[in-house]
A and B are shown apart, each in its own frame.
Chain A
Protein backbone atom coordinates (compact mmCIF):
# COMPACT_ATOMS: atom_id res chain seq x y z
CA UNK A 1 0.00 0.00 0.00
CA UNK A 2 1.34 3.42 -0.92
CA UNK A 3 1.34 6.06 1.78
CA UNK A 4 0.44 9.64 0.83
CA UNK A 5 3.45 11.96 1.03
CA UNK A 6 3.50 14.60 3.75
CA UNK A 7 3.01 17.24 1.07
CA UNK A 8 -0.13 15.53 -0.21
CA UNK A 9 -1.48 15.21 3.33
CA UNK A 10 -0.81 18.89 3.96
CA UNK A 11 -2.62 19.99 0.77
CA UNK A 12 -5.63 17.88 1.74
CA UNK A 13 -5.64 19.57 5.18
CA UNK A 14 -5.60 23.03 3.57
CA UNK A 15 -8.65 22.26 1.47
CA UNK A 16 -10.52 21.13 4.58
CA UNK A 17 -10.41 24.56 6.17
CA UNK A 18 -10.59 28.20 5.10
CA UNK A 19 -8.73 31.08 6.70
CA UNK A 20 -10.93 34.14 6.80
CA UNK A 21 -10.65 37.74 7.95
CA UNK A 22 -13.81 39.14 9.51
CA UNK A 23 -14.25 42.91 9.34
CA UNK A 24 -17.14 45.33 9.28
CA UNK A 25 -18.50 48.09 7.12
CA UNK A 26 -20.93 50.37 8.86
CA UNK A 27 -21.29 47.72 11.53
CA UNK A 28 -22.19 44.99 9.05
CA UNK A 29 -19.88 42.00 9.37
CA UNK A 30 -18.25 40.62 6.27
CA UNK A 31 -15.53 38.05 5.67
CA UNK A 32 -12.86 37.57 3.04
CA UNK A 33 -10.32 34.84 2.41
CA UNK A 34 -6.93 35.79 3.82
CA UNK A 35 -5.40 34.65 0.52
CA UNK A 36 -7.30 37.49 -1.18
CA UNK A 37 -5.84 40.17 1.09
CA UNK A 38 -2.74 42.22 0.35
CA UNK A 39 -2.63 43.91 3.73
CA UNK A 40 -4.37 46.07 6.33
CA UNK A 41 -3.29 49.60 7.17
CA UNK A 42 -4.64 52.85 8.50
CA UNK A 43 -6.78 54.71 6.02
CA UNK A 44 -5.42 57.91 4.49
CA UNK A 45 -7.31 60.47 2.45
CA UNK A 46 -8.11 59.29 -1.05
CA UNK A 47 -7.86 61.35 -4.21
CA UNK A 48 -11.09 61.84 -6.15
CA UNK A 49 -11.06 60.72 -9.80
CA UNK A 50 -13.91 61.73 -12.13
CA UNK A 51 -15.30 58.35 -13.14
CA UNK A 52 -18.43 56.63 -14.34
CA UNK A 53 -17.37 53.21 -13.12
CA UNK A 54 -19.71 52.40 -10.23
CA UNK A 55 -18.00 52.67 -6.85
CA UNK A 56 -14.53 53.22 -8.37
CA UNK A 57 -14.07 56.98 -8.17
CA UNK A 58 -10.88 57.57 -6.25
CA UNK A 59 -7.25 56.59 -5.92
CA UNK A 60 -5.15 56.05 -2.82
CA UNK A 61 -1.54 57.15 -2.71
CA UNK A 62 1.02 55.78 -0.28
CA UNK A 63 4.31 57.52 -1.05
CA UNK A 64 4.90 56.44 -4.65
CA UNK A 65 2.41 53.56 -4.64
CA UNK A 66 -0.99 54.18 -6.19
CA UNK A 67 -4.06 51.97 -6.13
CA UNK A 68 -7.74 52.45 -7.00
CA UNK A 69 -10.32 52.67 -4.25
CA UNK A 70 -13.46 50.56 -4.26
CA UNK A 71 -16.22 52.24 -2.24
CA UNK A 72 -17.78 49.14 -0.71
CA UNK A 73 -19.53 51.23 1.95
CA UNK A 74 -21.39 53.15 -0.74
CA UNK A 75 -22.32 49.95 -2.49
CA UNK A 76 -23.76 48.50 0.71
CA UNK A 77 -25.34 51.86 1.57
CA UNK A 78 -23.50 51.97 4.88
CA UNK A 79 -21.72 54.71 6.81
CA UNK A 80 -18.28 53.72 8.01
CA UNK A 81 -17.63 53.90 11.74
CA UNK A 82 -14.47 54.31 13.73
CA UNK A 83 -11.55 56.68 13.89
CA UNK A 84 -9.19 56.05 12.37
CA UNK A 85 -10.69 53.98 9.64
CA UNK A 86 -8.79 51.09 8.14
CA UNK A 87 -7.67 50.22 4.62
CA UNK A 88 -8.08 46.65 3.41
CA UNK A 89 -5.93 45.94 0.35
CA UNK A 90 -7.69 43.50 -1.94
CA UNK A 91 -5.94 41.23 -4.42
CA UNK A 92 -8.38 41.91 -7.24
CA UNK A 93 -7.98 40.22 -10.61
CA UNK A 94 -7.30 43.66 -12.14
CA UNK A 95 -4.67 44.49 -9.52
CA UNK A 96 -4.46 45.63 -5.93
CA UNK A 97 -7.43 47.68 -4.80
CA UNK A 98 -8.05 49.62 -1.57
CA UNK A 99 -11.28 49.28 0.40
CA UNK A 100 -12.06 51.52 3.37
CA UNK A 101 -13.48 49.54 6.30
CA UNK A 102 -14.56 50.29 9.87
CA UNK A 103 -11.91 51.15 12.41
CA UNK A 104 -12.64 48.05 14.53
CA UNK A 105 -9.67 45.70 14.25
CA UNK A 106 -10.59 42.76 12.03
CA UNK A 107 -10.30 39.24 13.38
CA UNK A 108 -9.02 35.99 11.94
CA UNK A 109 -11.25 32.97 11.75
CA UNK A 110 -10.81 29.45 10.42
CA UNK A 111 -13.80 27.47 9.24
CA UNK A 112 -14.19 23.98 7.90
CA UNK A 113 -14.81 24.00 4.15
CA UNK A 114 -18.04 22.15 4.87
CA UNK A 115 -19.32 25.07 6.94
CA UNK A 116 -19.46 27.31 3.90
CA UNK A 117 -23.02 27.69 2.69
CA UNK A 118 -24.60 29.11 -0.41
CA UNK A 119 -25.06 32.86 0.07
CA UNK A 120 -28.44 34.44 -0.62
CA UNK A 121 -26.92 37.92 -0.98
CA UNK A 122 -27.74 39.45 -4.34
CA UNK A 123 -26.19 42.86 -3.66
CA UNK A 124 -22.56 41.82 -3.60
CA UNK A 125 -20.30 39.16 -5.09
CA UNK A 126 -19.78 36.34 -2.61
CA UNK A 127 -18.09 32.97 -2.45
CA UNK A 128 -20.63 31.80 0.13
CA UNK A 129 -21.48 32.47 3.74
CA UNK A 130 -21.09 30.90 7.14
CA UNK A 131 -22.64 31.25 10.56
CA UNK A 132 -20.36 31.94 13.50
CA UNK A 133 -23.13 31.64 16.06
CA UNK A 134 -23.86 35.35 16.01
CA UNK A 135 -25.35 35.38 12.54
CA UNK A 136 -24.67 34.74 8.89
CA UNK A 137 -21.50 36.31 7.53
CA UNK A 138 -21.07 36.55 3.76
CA UNK A 139 -17.63 35.75 2.37
CA UNK A 140 -16.94 38.50 -0.17
CA UNK A 141 -15.35 37.48 -3.48
CA UNK A 142 -12.61 40.10 -3.39
CA UNK A 143 -10.93 38.98 -6.59
CA UNK A 144 -13.99 39.78 -8.67
CA UNK A 145 -15.63 42.50 -6.58
CA UNK A 146 -17.33 44.92 -8.94
CA UNK A 147 -16.40 42.76 -11.91
CA UNK A 148 -13.07 42.55 -13.72
CA UNK A 149 -11.71 43.76 -17.01
CA UNK A 150 -11.72 40.15 -18.25
CA UNK A 151 -15.43 39.68 -17.51
CA UNK A 152 -16.17 43.17 -18.79
CA UNK A 153 -14.61 42.26 -22.11
CA UNK A 154 -16.88 39.24 -22.40
CA UNK A 155 -14.49 36.54 -21.22
CA UNK A 156 -15.94 33.93 -18.92
CA UNK A 157 -14.63 33.81 -15.41
CA UNK A 158 -15.01 30.91 -13.08
CA UNK A 159 -16.90 32.44 -10.21
Chain B
Protein backbone atom coordinates (compact mmCIF):
# COMPACT_ATOMS: atom_id res chain seq x y z
CA UNK B 1 0.00 0.00 0.00
CA UNK B 2 1.21 3.48 -0.71
CA UNK B 3 0.21 7.08 -0.24
CA UNK B 4 0.68 9.52 -3.08
CA UNK B 5 2.36 12.82 -2.44
CA UNK B 6 2.62 14.77 0.73
CA UNK B 7 1.89 18.45 0.37
CA UNK B 8 2.63 21.04 2.98
CA UNK B 9 0.82 24.26 2.32
CA UNK B 10 2.89 26.51 4.58
CA UNK B 11 5.91 26.23 6.80
CA UNK B 12 5.27 27.42 10.32
CA UNK B 13 6.35 27.04 13.92
CA UNK B 14 2.96 25.69 15.05
CA UNK B 15 2.05 22.06 14.72
CA UNK B 16 0.01 21.50 11.60
CA UNK B 17 -2.87 19.13 11.12
CA UNK B 18 -2.52 16.38 8.54
CA UNK B 19 -5.35 15.11 6.40
CA UNK B 20 -5.59 12.41 3.78
CA UNK B 21 -7.58 14.03 0.98
CA UNK B 22 -9.70 11.69 -1.12
CA UNK B 23 -12.44 12.07 -3.71
CA UNK B 24 -15.93 10.58 -3.90
CA UNK B 25 -17.81 11.75 -6.94
CA UNK B 26 -17.24 15.48 -7.19
CA UNK B 27 -16.69 15.78 -3.44
CA UNK B 28 -13.27 15.96 -1.85
CA UNK B 29 -13.08 14.68 1.70
CA UNK B 30 -10.29 15.29 4.20
CA UNK B 31 -9.76 12.41 6.62
CA UNK B 32 -7.73 13.27 9.74
CA UNK B 33 -4.47 11.46 9.02
CA UNK B 34 -3.95 10.06 12.50
CA UNK B 35 -6.76 7.59 11.85
CA UNK B 36 -5.44 6.32 8.52
CA UNK B 37 -4.06 2.80 8.83
CA UNK B 38 -3.43 2.14 5.16
CA UNK B 39 -4.50 2.57 1.56
CA UNK B 40 -5.15 -0.54 -0.51
CA UNK B 41 -5.88 -1.17 -4.14
CA UNK B 42 -9.12 -3.04 -4.85
CA UNK B 43 -7.06 -6.13 -5.64
CA UNK B 44 -5.32 -5.93 -2.26
CA UNK B 45 -8.64 -5.29 -0.50
CA UNK B 46 -10.30 -8.30 -2.08
CA UNK B 47 -14.03 -8.95 -1.92
CA UNK B 48 -16.37 -9.32 1.01
CA UNK B 49 -17.95 -7.18 3.72
CA UNK B 50 -14.70 -6.73 5.59
CA UNK B 51 -10.95 -6.62 5.19
CA UNK B 52 -8.48 -8.23 7.54
CA UNK B 53 -5.15 -6.46 7.88
CA UNK B 54 -2.50 -7.03 10.55
CA UNK B 55 -4.96 -9.04 12.60
CA UNK B 56 -7.63 -6.33 12.58
CA UNK B 57 -10.94 -6.57 10.77
CA UNK B 58 -12.01 -3.42 8.94
CA UNK B 59 -15.71 -3.33 8.14
CA UNK B 60 -16.66 -1.89 4.77
CA UNK B 61 -18.48 1.42 5.14
CA UNK B 62 -20.66 2.69 2.30
CA UNK B 63 -19.83 6.37 2.55
CA UNK B 64 -21.36 6.98 -0.85
CA UNK B 65 -24.68 5.71 0.42
CA UNK B 66 -24.57 7.74 3.62
CA UNK B 67 -23.69 10.96 1.87
CA UNK B 68 -25.85 10.21 -1.18
CA UNK B 69 -23.04 10.83 -3.61
CA UNK B 70 -22.73 9.32 -7.09
CA UNK B 71 -19.41 7.57 -7.57
CA UNK B 72 -17.76 5.34 -10.15
CA UNK B 73 -15.44 2.75 -8.63
CA UNK B 74 -14.52 1.07 -11.93
CA UNK B 75 -11.41 3.16 -12.43
CA UNK B 76 -7.71 2.56 -11.95
CA UNK B 77 -7.59 5.24 -9.26
CA UNK B 78 -10.04 3.49 -6.94
CA UNK B 79 -8.59 2.77 -3.52
CA UNK B 80 -9.75 1.47 -0.14
CA UNK B 81 -8.74 3.52 2.90
CA UNK B 82 -8.37 1.67 6.19
CA UNK B 83 -9.44 3.94 9.03
CA UNK B 84 -9.45 3.34 12.79
CA UNK B 85 -9.51 4.97 16.21
CA UNK B 86 -8.20 1.83 17.87
CA UNK B 87 -11.69 0.63 18.81
CA UNK B 88 -13.71 0.86 15.60
CA UNK B 89 -12.22 0.02 12.22
CA UNK B 90 -13.60 1.07 8.83
CA UNK B 91 -12.70 0.33 5.22
CA UNK B 92 -13.83 3.18 2.97
CA UNK B 93 -13.79 2.88 -0.80
CA UNK B 94 -12.89 6.09 -2.63
CA UNK B 95 -12.50 7.07 -6.26
CA UNK B 96 -9.17 8.82 -5.86
CA UNK B 97 -6.56 9.52 -3.22
CA UNK B 98 -4.88 12.91 -3.61
CA UNK B 99 -2.43 12.37 -0.79
CA UNK B 100 -1.55 13.87 2.57
CA UNK B 101 -2.04 17.58 3.12
CA UNK B 102 -0.85 19.47 6.17
CA UNK B 103 -2.53 22.72 7.18
CA UNK B 104 -2.39 25.10 10.10
CA UNK B 105 -5.34 24.97 12.52
CA UNK B 106 -6.42 28.44 11.39
CA UNK B 107 -6.78 27.09 7.86
CA UNK B 108 -9.54 24.75 9.01
CA UNK B 109 -12.73 26.64 8.19
CA UNK B 110 -15.95 25.92 10.11
CA UNK B 111 -18.98 24.81 8.16
CA UNK B 112 -21.10 27.96 7.60
CA UNK B 113 -24.15 28.31 9.84
CA UNK B 114 -26.36 28.11 6.73
CA UNK B 115 -25.82 24.35 6.84
CA UNK B 116 -28.15 23.27 9.64
CA UNK B 117 -28.85 19.55 9.25
CA UNK B 118 -27.02 16.19 9.46
CA UNK B 119 -24.03 17.52 7.52
CA UNK B 120 -22.98 19.38 10.67
CA UNK B 121 -22.42 15.93 12.22
CA UNK B 122 -20.73 14.44 9.16
CA UNK B 123 -18.22 17.25 8.69
CA UNK B 124 -16.28 19.24 11.26
CA UNK B 125 -15.20 21.89 8.77
CA UNK B 126 -13.36 22.31 5.49
CA UNK B 127 -10.00 23.25 4.03
CA UNK B 128 -9.06 24.85 0.76
CA UNK B 129 -7.64 22.19 -1.54
CA UNK B 130 -6.34 22.91 -5.01
CA UNK B 131 -8.87 25.05 -6.81
CA UNK B 132 -11.71 23.79 -4.61
CA UNK B 133 -12.17 22.62 -1.06
CA UNK B 134 -12.16 19.41 0.94
CA UNK B 135 -14.71 18.66 3.65
CA UNK B 136 -13.16 17.49 6.92
CA UNK B 137 -14.84 14.23 7.88
CA UNK B 138 -15.76 13.88 11.53
CA UNK B 139 -14.04 10.64 12.55
CA UNK B 140 -16.35 10.18 15.54
CA UNK B 141 -19.32 10.10 13.15
CA UNK B 142 -17.49 7.97 10.58
CA UNK B 143 -16.42 5.30 13.03
CA UNK B 144 -19.71 5.51 14.89
CA UNK B 145 -21.42 4.48 11.64
CA UNK B 146 -19.08 1.48 11.47
CA UNK B 147 -20.15 0.41 14.92
CA UNK B 148 -23.77 0.60 13.73
CA UNK B 149 -22.95 -1.60 10.73
CA UNK B 150 -21.18 -4.16 12.89
CA UNK B 151 -24.05 -4.38 15.36
CA UNK B 152 -26.57 -4.93 12.57
CA UNK B 153 -24.69 -7.66 10.65
CA UNK B 154 -25.14 -11.32 11.60
CA UNK B 155 -22.41 -12.35 13.97
CA UNK B 156 -21.46 -8.73 14.62
CA UNK B 157 -20.72 -7.48 18.06
CA UNK B 158 -23.71 -6.20 19.97
CA UNK B 159 -23.42 -2.56 21.14
Contact = CB atoms under 8 A, between A and B. Distances in A.
B53 interface: no
A3 interface: no
A51 interface: yes
A59 B117 CA distance: 16
Contacts of B128: 61, 64, 66
Contacts of B4: none
Contact of B133 (A50, A61, A97, A146): A61
Interface residues of A, number: 24
A52 B117 contact: yes
A148 B128 CA distance: 25
A64 B116 CA distance: 23
A97 B114 CA distance: 8
Contacts of B116: 53, 56, 147, 149, 152
Contact of B132 (A47, A50, A56, A148): A47
Contact of A49 (B27, B109, B118, B131): B27
A50 B114 contact: no
Contact of B112 (A52, A95, A152): A95
Interface secondary structure of B, over-half rule: loop
Contacts of A64: 128
B67 A95 contact: no
B114 A92 contact: yes
Given A47-B133, A50-B67, A51-B117, A67 B112 contact: yes
B114 A70 contact: yes
Nearest to A150: B113
B27 A48 contact: yes
Contacts of A28: none
Contacts of B69: 50
Interface string A49-84: 111110010010100101110100000000000000
B4 to A, nearest CB: 22
Given A61-B132, A61-B133, A49 B113 contact: no
Interface string B127-146: 01001110100000000000
Interface in A134-151: 146-149
Given A47-B132, A61-B132, A64-B128, A52 B113 contact: no
Nearest to B122: A50
A49 B115 contact: yes
Nearest to B120: A53
Most chain B CB within a 10 A radius of its CB, from A48, A51, A92, A149:
A51
B68 A53 contact: no
A112 interface: no
Interface of A: 47-53, 56, 59, 61, 64, 66-68, 70, 92, 94-95, 97, 146-149, 152
